[in-house]
Amino acid sequence: MLREDGAVRCVACMCCPTVCPAHCITIIPEESDNPGIEKRPAVFEIDELRCVVCGLCVEACPCDAIRMDTFVHPKIWGYNREDFVESKQTLMERSKVLEERGREALIDDMLRDYREADAAAAEGR
């Protein structure tokens, strides 16, 4: 999730990777430019192939930075393992699309990306 200024809500408190039974969340913290926030994630990744969708990360987050009710869906299709590792940048981009253009636009964008990747893979065969 994003703050009103567009910055990531996560303060790299490490609660979500600590509670995760699947060990699918990676956070590497860095100092924040915001004087009211000590840290932020330099790296925030979720390996969706390891995630068991238990929701413990959501419950553990004190900042409402990670949620499961926003329609910011993970990728469900790809050709490589890396296709299923959701980065901070990807999640922030999806959050911005959701906020600016709505849920349908987010889903349409993901379907377009799937079709383009499928076509590119078919050409490479």
User: What is the pTM assigned to this prediction?
Assistant: 0.81
Show the tokens assigned to 123: 């050409």
Residues comprising the chain, all counted = 125
Helix (H), strand (E) at residue 87: strand 85-87
**Domains of the chain listed by start with CATH number:** 15-123 (3.30.70.3270)
What end-to-end distance do the CA atoms of the chain give, in Å?
Answer: 38
Question: pLDDT tens per residue, the chain (125 residues)?
Answer: 888 888 899 999 999 999 999 999 999 999 998 888 899 999 999 999 999 999 999 999 999 999 888 777 676 777 788 888 999 998 888 888 888 998 888 889 888 988 998 888 888 76
